[in-house]
Amino acid sequence: MEKIFRVFSLKHLLLVSIALNVSLILRVMNLSEKEILNSWSQEEELAKGHVSNNRHLSSSSSSSSSSFANTRIEAEDGGEKVINLDHVIAVAIIMLSLPGLTKTDFIDVMLLMFFFQCSGDPTMYEKYWQQVGDKTTIVIPGWQSLSYFSDVSNICWFLEPDFAKEVVRLHRVVGNAITENRHLVVGTGSTQLFQAALYALSPQDALEPISVVSAAPFYSSYPSITDCLKSGLYKWAGDAHSFKKDGPYIELVTSPNNPDGFVRQSVVNRSEGILVHDLAYYWPQYTSISFPADHDLMLFTVSKSTGHAGMRIGWALVKDTEVAKKMTKYIELNTIGVSKDSQLRAAKVLKVLSNSCEPNSSEGECFFEFNHRQMATRWKQLRMAVQKSGLFSVPEFPPQFCTFLGRDFKPQPAFAWLKCEQEEIDDCESFLRGKKILTRSGRHFGFSSKYVRISMLDRDQNYNLFVERLSNIIIS
């Protein structure tokens, strides 16, 4: 307890409150991105006692032969701009550069801050919603949404009926999940729903915590979220591929998977297992909709379906009534419900989205068609950059027929699982950071540090600059 109070001094609370706004910190502290990277590098060199020597690798200084749209920006920038494709690391670099903050304090604060950081910030979707204009605008009078309760007849008593209606409609339009004979539980993002699911599925009278596993590479937040409360009900037990313990367990199945984009099935497959399916990316801009998912407990989120991460809204489709009740109870104990304002705004966004994708719609271009095309363009750019560089690889996916779009296409995930292929590069994250590209190492996903996860959902300018810079990292 004393250590927690030491970490959360007034200074650190201030850092937590401002760290999300990277550009504001850079302006206020008058620190250039070059200075921040130098500060980071100096800390690492002091800790290790040496400077790494990348004699065989260099970044090409010529951009005249590039086919990418951001060549001019890269040239004007002089290669100095830090391309942030992982916001947790950006916050870390900035905090480490601030005077008076020791490395021990930095680690302590970052562990406590972790759950508030954004990664894979889906700002790519701004372009579509800007074109939509004020169709998604809502006005909430001051007298509305005063009560805690939304529908006392529903198991999830804080679920707004309009939001529930639009969720069911969206799944019907896309055809990616069964909603009949399911309970809908709303949460403050899918992270809260994941915690609610663990609470609901764990035996209350067991002698030891139930094991929670997922096949590596797994979502990097699963271990931290599972163990953050040091619960006596459940405990992270690692990679499902190597899980041998007898007895009940909970397996998390993310499909398409974060970080590598592959469609997943359960791995352990024992009679005492309980499955939670995280389907945040099972939408047609990322992957083919082959069938409506039909699992006991399925998690979805607005942030990856529509791009509205700031709403902090997710939902679960739950088959078992008692599980739905326990999940609702957890959210009641945790936050006494979910913001009505966010639910109402999400309902309006989902309504406009579904309207655009209904057959014979006159509401403009379908949201999923528009953003499927954006993702296809980005993956084409990335593969060209990888091929030109020759130092990297990304996964290859077989094409599948999509029942929603009515055609075959290869998956184009929200994240790229990039591998540094050169034998002398053991730490791909550090190597790319040296080129001013910030990513997240594969070790956070229970995998090799030769891999990194890269967000494909950033704004065009940042993404174009990234692929241009990546393509110019070559063997000297």
Q: How many other CB atoms sit within 10 Å of the CB of residue 475?
A: 10
Decide if pLDDT at 420 tops 50. yes
Tens of pLDDT, residue by residue over 179-199, are: 999 999 999 999 999 999 999
Residue 44 has phi, psi (to 5 degrees) of -65, -40
Asked if the structure places residue 313 within a domain, the reply is yes
Range of 275's domain?
148-357
Across-strand partners of 415?
A: 455
Query: How far apart, in Å, are the Cα atoms of 469 and each of 72, 102, 124, 342, 454?
Result: 12, 32, 19, 38, 14
Mean confidence (pLDDT) of the chain: 84
What is the C-alpha to C-alpha distance for residues 368 and 391, in angstroms, rounded to an integer? Answer: 33
Q: Which SS3 state, helix, strand or coil, does residue 104 take?
A: helix
What's the pLDDT score for residue 474? 85
Decide if pLDDT at 415 tops 90. yes
Q: Which residue has the higher pLDDT, 360 or 267?
A: 267
What's the pLDDT score for residue 14? 46
Q: How many other CB atoms sit within 10 Å of the CB of residue 320?
A: 15
List of residues 6+ apart from 124 with CB closer than 8 A: 307, 371, 374, 378, 456, 457, 458, 459, 460, 463
Asked if the structure places residue 251 within a domain, the reply is yes
Tens of pLDDT, residue by residue over 312-356, are: 999 999 999 999 999 999 999 999 999 999 999 999 999 999 999
Question: Are β-strands 440-441 and 407-409 bridged in parallel, bridged antiparallel, or unpaired?
Answer: unpaired
Predicted TM-score (pTM) of this structure: 0.80
Tens of pLDDT, residue by residue over 290-305, are: 999 999 999 999 999 9
What's the pLDDT score for residue 280? 98
H-assigned helices in 120-203: 126-132, 161-174, 189-201
Asked if the structure places residue 415 within a domain, the reply is no
Q: How many other CB atoms sit within 10 Å of the CB of residue 422?
A: 17
What is the C-alpha to C-alpha distance for residues 251 and 253, in angstroms, rounded to an integer? Answer: 6
Decide if pLDDT at 38 tops 70. no
Question: What do you get for the CA distance between the two ends of the chain, in Å?
Answer: 53
Query: How does DSSP classify residue 177?
Result: B
Domain count, the chain: 1
How many helices (H) and strands (E) would you count in the chain?
A: 17, 17
Asked if the structure places residue 293 within a domain, the reply is yes
Say what percent of the chain tops pLDDT 70: 75
Asked if the structure places residue 309 within a domain, the reply is yes
What's the pLDDT score for residue 48? 43
Average pLDDT over residues 242-266: 97
What is the CATH classification number for the domain harbouring 331?
3.40.640.10
What's the pLDDT score for residue 392? 97
What's the pLDDT score for residue 82? 73
Structure tokens given for 331: 């959210």
Q: Which residue has the higher pLDDT, 459 or 360?
A: 459
Asked if the structure places residue 255 within a domain, the reply is yes
Structure tokens given for 344: 């109402």
Asked if the structure places residue 61 within a domain, the reply is no
H-assigned helices in 292-395: 302-305, 321-335, 340-357, 367-389
Decide if pLDDT at 20 tops 50. no
Asked if the structure places residue 276 within a domain, the reply is yes
What is the C-alpha to C-alpha distance for residues 471 and 262, in angstroms, rounded to an integer? Answer: 24
Q: How many other CB atoms sit within 10 Å of the CB of residue 458?
A: 22
Average pLDDT over residues 7-26: 45
Say what percent of the chain tops pLDDT 90: 73
